[in-house]
Amino acid sequence: MLKDRIALVTAAGSGIGRAGAIAMAREGACVIVTDLDGAQAQETLALIEAAGGRGAAFKLDVTDDAACGRAVTQILEAHGRIDVLHSHAGVQIPGRLEDVTPDQMDSAWALNVRAHFVLVQALISPMRSQGGGSVIVTASNSGCQYDRGMISYTTTKHAAVAMVKQMAVDYAHENIRFNALCPGFVDTRFNAGFETQMGGRAALESYVAGSIPMGRWASVEEIAEGIVYLASDRSSFVTGLALVIDGGEIL
């Protein structure tokens, strides 16, 4: 579905980001894998190449505006285009209003909203010149509902969904599509904030079993199928969507 597409993925060193990168490579894309941990990005690339895929990998701090600009320039110089961006980096900080410091709220905003903004902004001109593209921003089903005791996470994920919808309506006529990926509970290390907020692993497991209609976690591979869909022409008339993949939790 993605033969010869050039895809850039941030925070692809583990979890959903890694699974999505591998899935896009399996569908024929050349995947540029980035992560704050450069060694983990290289591990993802090794998995892609071991399966017969192709790509490149390097360290990228998405909170560094200049580094994001350089990354886009570097990829364009090497490949001539960027067809897909999966902007996946984020942070989960637990706590209610009185528990979260202003600095923590700033950190959540920097990763969960601003970093996506900066990276996407750098891609608008080249995507316009090439005739379009697909931008996928990872938000969360927390961007479509409200979580107890998670003010910074829920606020910034709602903002990410709103930003995606605004970008979608502004650029639809240029064939640049913007969609938000909104996973529910996936059993990765990213859930440390929710685990703390709920009172430990056992309590989190109990929540997943009792509160999600399908009664289980999602696998990273299940979320990756949504990424491939949004990246590919199978979603060619889809823009401004918050694609919730959560086993019915939001219901």
What single-letter amino acid sits at 73?
T
List pLDDT tens digits, range 41-54.
999 999 999 999 99
Of 153, 171, 207, 229, the catalytic one is 153
Residue 17, pLDDT above cutoff 90:
yes
Look-up: residue for tokens 């996946």? Answer: 88
List pLDDT tens digits, range 155-182.
999 999 999 999 999 999 999 999 999 9
**Confidence at residue 238, expressed as pLDDT on a 0 to 100 scale:** 98
Cα–Cα distance for residue pair 251/249, rounded to 1 Å:
5
Name which CATH class applies to 6-245. alpha beta
Cα–Cα distance for residue pair 65/12, rounded to 1 Å:
18
88: left (phi > 0), else alpha (psi -120 to 50), else beta? alpha
Share of the chain above pLDDT 90, in %: 87
| CA-closest candidate to residue 28, choices 52, 46, 3, 50 | 3
Region 74-102 average pLDDT: 96
Angle at 199 between CA 204 and CA 152, to 5 degrees: 85
Concerning whether 153 is annotated as a catalytic residue, the answer is yes
59: left (phi > 0), else alpha (psi -120 to 50), else beta? beta
Torsion angle of alpha carbons 102, 108, 110, 116, nearest 10°? Answer: -160
Domain ranges of the chain: 6-245
Residue 189 binned pLDDT confidence (cut-offs 50, 70, 90): confident
What single-letter amino acid sits at 28?
G
**Confidence at residue 195, expressed as pLDDT on a 0 to 100 scale:** 75
Give the pTM.
Answer: 0.94
